[in-house]
Structure 1
């Protein structure tokens, strides 16, 4: 996995301890990019420290309610997040950072570590080594089903897309981009994050979209036809 100027080929290339940024409803996936607007002092300090270190931050959701996430070692956080490398940073002049994170790999939280005076949280993690393997090219994804559900969602909500760009996108990029931009809630975003591979993530996204469309009306089947 190449993210910015850094290659992550094995779990040895990934830090064992990372600062974590709890962010409800946020989804970062390997190989994708997440823009962030940072203004809280503790997170400004976190990114300052990351910039002079390995530039890696863990994006993770707060623990989900109603049993949406299996209990992990840190009870107020989901058990799985995604590592991101700071690939760009801009200063706004009013104390904020505008940052882009490039997704490296998912991780499982092992334990929370002592803050040692830091205003932000740090966790020991176990990275998902399979995310660093380029073998998953999405070849077994039902791309037509994915695009049909995407088109149905756009039609149902009177939205448009740049279809020429969609058609040119690789299947992995398409699945990850649609998953990240999808307007679903924290539980759905966590399910997309924890999907085992690109095929499973695509199937999960299609299923969530079908449920959302069915909930909003009975026109889904007609739209797909």
Structure 2
């Protein structure tokens, strides 16, 4: 996989220890891009250090329930995250960085490691090596079912889409983009991240969407009653 000016082909191309950015509800997938607005001092320091190094950050969700980290606890981390390389950076002029991360590969956390005087957290990781290579997984995806589910969601919420762009997108791009754009919660986003392959991710997204449509319909029926 080529990401920016760097190729990631084998495990040796991936750092063993990476800084991690715990971000609830965020989803980064291989081959996709995630824009981020960085303003906390510890993460500004992390970006500075990354720019001086291999430019790689691990995006991962906190495992604790929302709010518990504010009660004096350091939030546990989900077991799986995704590596991203900083491929775009701008200075906002007010101390913020506006960056774009390009997804490289998912990873499993082996252990959190002491970060010394650094204000951010670091983890030893094991990458999902299959994410580094192009595959034929897209051929197994039921694209028609995915698009039908997407259209049903848009119709139920009175939303529009650029269908010409949707139809032109590759199946892999379509699955991963819809997963990242989906308005679902942290648990659903984590399920989409941890899906074993593209086919499973598409099926998971369809199932989550269908459940949301039924749930919203039930809520509407109850209001009418």
TM-score by length of 2: 0.91
**8 Å Cα contact 2:64/2:75 also seen in 1:** no
- Deviation digits for residues 28-64 of structure 1 (CA, Å, limit 9, x no counterpart): 0000000000000000000100001000000000005
Residues 1:80 and 2:84 are matched in the alignment: no
Alignment of 1:1-225 (within 5 A): 1-65=1-65, 76-217=76-217
- Deviation digits for residues 107-162 of structure 1 (CA, Å, limit 9, x no counterpart): 00011111110000000000000111211441110000000000000000000000
- Deviation, structure 1 residue 65: 4.4
Query: Unaligned regions of 5+ residues in structure 1, if any?
Result: 67-73, 219-225
Aligned residues: 211
The two structures, once aligned, show a CA RMSD in angstroms of 1.4
- Deviation, structure 1 residue 93: 0.3
Q: Distance in 2 between matches of 1:203 and 1:169?
A: 18
**8 Å Cα contact 2:59/2:82 also seen in 1:** yes
TM-score by length of 1: 0.91
Q: Distance in 1 between matches of 2:41 and 2:35?
A: 18
- Deviation digits for residues 81-102 of structure 1 (CA, Å, limit 9, x no counterpart): 0000000000000000000000
CA 1:136/1:21 → structure 2, altered by over 3 Å: closer, same or farther?
Answer: farther
Query: Unaligned regions of 5+ residues in structure 2, if any?
Result: 67-73, 219-225
Task: Find the residue that maps to 1:217 and give its secondary structure.
Answer: helix
Which piece of structure 1 moves more, 29-38 or 136-145? 136-145
The structure 1 segments of at least 4 consecutive aligned residues displaced by more than 6 Å after TM superposition are: none
What corresponds to 2:221 in structure 1?
none
Task: Find the residue that maps to 1:50 and give its secondary structure.
Answer: helix
**8 Å Cα contact 1:64/1:187 also seen in 2:** no
Q: Distance in 2 between matches of 1:47 and 1:177?
A: 25
**8 Å Cα contact 2:91/2:98 also seen in 1:** yes
Task: Find the residue that maps to 1:139 and give its secondary structure.
Answer: helix
**8 Å Cα contact 1:16/1:126 also seen in 2:** yes
**8 Å Cα contact 1:136/1:197 also seen in 2:** no
**8 Å Cα contact 2:29/2:105 also seen in 1:** yes
